Amino acid sequence: MEHRPALTILSEDEIAFKEAVRSFAEAEIKPHVNEMDEAAQLKPELIKKLFEMGLMGIESPETYGGAGSSFTMACLAVEELGRIDGSVSVLVDVQNTLVTNAIIRWATEDQKKKYLPKMATEWVGAYALSESTSGSDAFALKLKAELKGDKYILNGSKLWITNGKDASFYIVFANTDFSKGYKGITAFIVEKDFKGFKVGKKEDKVGIRASSTTELLFENCEVPVANVLGEVGKGYKIAIETLNEGRIGIGAQMIGIAQGAFEATVNYVKAREQFGKPIAQFQGVQFQLAEMRVQLEAARLLVYNAARLKDMNLDFVESAAIAKLFASRAAEKITSMAIDLFGGNGFTKEYPVEKFWRDAKIGQIYEGTSNMQLQTIAKMELGN
């Protein structure tokens, strides 16, 4: 059974785009999902197809080779990819909602001319903020940047960086003056072949296994002054404002994962027979499906609303926190209920719901834990 929920709040162009991404995901990604999950690696040829499909530069202006579309469109793509594979979904999400957004908003014209066309056609980007000692306390980072002549010399490391192995360049946050605290934090554009930079170990994760999550190592890494993103000492502002946008993208990923699990469950309970009839005919099963559907629709509308506010240049910070918080919780609940309804089959890799469940868990952790979203919501309600 195929659902087309919440489409009344989408335009005809958005519906057509959503359906095109769904068809692409069904044809090009679905056949490789289990293989990529087992290998813990995305197929390079699939990443190439994402570029060819125009999904890696959705908001980039057409003058830079992008689609010149909206943030909402980017979220719709992330959602539909998540319905098939959370790993592919987060690759596209980070590319669009974090890296591309940061370049569009904060880069110089020369930086835009250099990086946006590459991002739309061949270069994967990554966003490097977290370190071993700075997770939720993001501004406790210890990566040091020291100005020497026309270059900054970076020393330290980053951890848990999504797209780490697949990226060609990284937005990296380092401190140029620790005496200033967070006001010393500066953002840099670091290319993979810069001297002194290398990708470290790849994490062996529970879910979104095909997404490369790595450490980054900086040993006297040389970054040209021209590669400072925004102003020196204003990196904290870039980090906060970009992550506020990125949280909506994670919400979109979560509703995609939940949708995939829900559809698989509906199909399964209609086919699975016990006591002489399909289990879908039992009221207890029907009530659980209804609960899943309500959670999914509520999450979707919260995410769409936050995306719309962002596109309209209205205040979306609290809405983004609410959307991510609710969608990630809903995804974990829906995917867990899916396993319950599949019974013993749901606990095996032969059926798809165990992977949806594993992929959903990260939603309450990355790009701001659920506790951090609660803190944001509370602060905004209290006016501090």
Handedness of CA 64, 68, 74, 80 (dihedral sign): negative
Q: Which of 255, 198, 229, 254 is nearest to 367 (CA)?
A: 254
Query: What is the DSSP-derived secondary structure letter of residue 221?
Result: E
Q: Is 84 helix (H, G, I), strand (E, B) or coil?
A: helix
Start-to-end Cα distance in the chain? 46
| Structure-block tokens of residue 211 | 């997404």
The answer to whether 317 and 376 are in contact (CB under 8 A) is yes
Q: Which amino acid is at 325?
A: L
- Calpha distance 372→374 (Å, rounded): 5
Please identify which residue in the block is written with the tokens 């995804």.
331
Closest CA relative to residue 244, chosen from 314, 156, 193: 314
146 labelled catalytic = no
Closest to 366 measured CA to CA, from 90, 71, 82, 123:
90
CA distance 97 to 95: 6
Q: Which of 279, 212, 296 is nearest to 6 (CA)?
A: 296
Calpha distance 271→259 (Å, rounded) = 19
200, two tokens: 């470290």
Chain centroid to Cα 374, Å, comes to 19
The pairing of beta strand 169-175 with beta strand 125-128: parallel
**From the centroid of its chain, how far is CA 1?**
27
The beta-strand segments (E) located in the chain are 125-128, 144-148, 151-162, 169-175, 185-191, 197-202, 213-224, 228-229, 273-274, 277-278
CA distance readout (Å), 213 to 75, 147, 230: 21, 29, 26
**What tokens appear for 62 in the block?**
């057409």
Q: Could you say which of 28, 131, 245, 367 is catalytic? A: 367
> Which residues are identified as catalytic?
367
